[in-house]
Amino acid sequence: MNKVYPSAAAALEGVVADGQLIAVGGFGLCGIPEALIDALREQHLDAAVLDLRSVRPAADLEIAQTFELAAGFLVRPEHPLMQLGRPVGIDEVLAYPVASTPLSDEVARLLIGRYGPQANPDDMVTLRSDETLNIVEVARRSDAIVLTANAAAQGLVPLDMAPALDATARFGLVTLGQRQEAPALRILRETSDECLWEATQTLLRMGVLAPVGRPFEIELGPDLPLIRQTEFDAPADIGRRYAPVSGDFNPIHLWPLTAKVLGFRRAIAHGLWTQARALAMLQPDGVLPQASLQTVFKRPLLLPVQATLWQAASAPNEQLFEVRDAAGQVPHLRARLTRTPHPVQP
């Protein structure tokens, strides 16, 4: 999988359409700050969420909505150091490989001041990557220790250090000062303190010997007749392109060979990508203030493939739809989108 591009513009070519907002970040989340700032200035990006310690002051940049995330030395829960049941010192940490994204001079000074010269990142860090997802995955599968923001390392736990690190990653929304603000960016600012997405996921398993609870029932309402609306392509590499966005690098989505090892004839699309692709074609222009979505995933979408979108003639604020195969015979997912109407102005 080739994830190396000469520039941000090359990485976004063929992925971003007019009107879309892309916000990416550094210090452990994703992206090289200097390259992302260049992309802002070249107007390939509307905004970037960056570690502010890595951003040099410049007259043409504006920084807003700063926030901090706790950071530390993170390991898998079964790591030998977690079994000690006590705070650990830097000497014990250095007995294992230490991984990190590039660190700012401020973070380096903090580490050296807290733990001495041996904590200099130039000497301490043995595995470096511009993408935290990569080093976090290494730590999940080994005894490597990751230095990053806690929120960026799902599945890892912070080490109790002596003395305590008490470090944070300070992020901010960076934009180009003289550029007209994109509508999506305005919405992002206005809703930054609101819950934008909440989901409940029910996973089914076959062959359970002693099942508990009630049988699964599809709760999408009446089975209405559906009309074919359009078709779309799911290319062979969509799993590899969507994996960095979703954080789901399951081999069944990446390559035909890795999918075959796990029982599929070919790689399959991420279910959430299929859902999002359908929603993108169904959404009208303008802002959708609030909505709920119920989805039942039926059959995997084998890549590459052409799929079709079907929709029922339902109520004004509801859309019942399916994604089917090209012939319209095999359903891959079925969903109901319920919009919340705009409030009536007094």
- Over the stretch 335-346, which tens digit does the pLDDT of each residue have? 998 887 655 444
pLDDT at 177: 85
Q: Is the pLDDT reported for residue 230 higher than 70?
A: yes
Between 218 and 299, the more confident residue is 299
Same fold, 8-68+170-188 and 69-168: yes
User: Which of 46-50, 191-195, 304-308 is predicted with the least confidence, judged by mean pLDDT?
Assistant: 191-195
3-state secondary structure the chain: CCCCCCCHHHHHCCCCCCCCCCCCCCCCCCCCHHHHHHHHHCCCCCCEEEEHHHCCCCCCEEEEEEEEEEEEEEECCCCHHHHHCCCECHHHHCCCCEEECCCCHHHHHHHHHHHCHHHCHHHHCCEECCCHHHHHHHHHHCCCEEEEEHHHCCCCEECCECCCCCEEEEEEEEEECCCCCCHHHHHHHHCCCCCCCCCCCCCCCCCCCCCCCCCCCCCCCCCCCEEEEEEEEECCCHHHHHHHHHCCCCHHHCCHHHHHHCCCCCCECCHHHHHHHHHHHHCCCCCCCCEEEEEEECCCCECCEEEEEEEECCCCCEEEEEEEECCCCCEEEEEEEEECCCCCCC
Residue 260's pLDDT band, with cuts at 50, 70 and 90, is very high
CATH class of 8-68+170-188: alpha beta
**% of the chain at pLDDT higher than 70:** 80
The pLDDT tens digits for 277-317 are 999 888 766 666 778 888 989 999 999 999 999 998 766 78
Q: Which fold has domain 69-168?
A: D-Maltodextrin-Binding Protein; domain 2 (3.40.190)
Specify whether the CB–CB gap between 146 and 124 falls below 8 A: no
Q: Is the pLDDT reported for residue 95 higher than 90?
A: yes
pLDDT at 89: 96
The pLDDT tens digits for 63-93 are 876 778 889 999 999 999 999 999 999 999 9
Both tokens of 152, joined, read 């960026």
pLDDT at 150: 87
Q: Which fold has domain 226-339?
A: Thiol Ester Dehydrase; Chain A (3.10.129)
**% of the chain at pLDDT higher than 90:** 40
pLDDT at 215: 72
Residue-range domain boundaries for the chain: 8-68+170-188, 69-168, 226-339
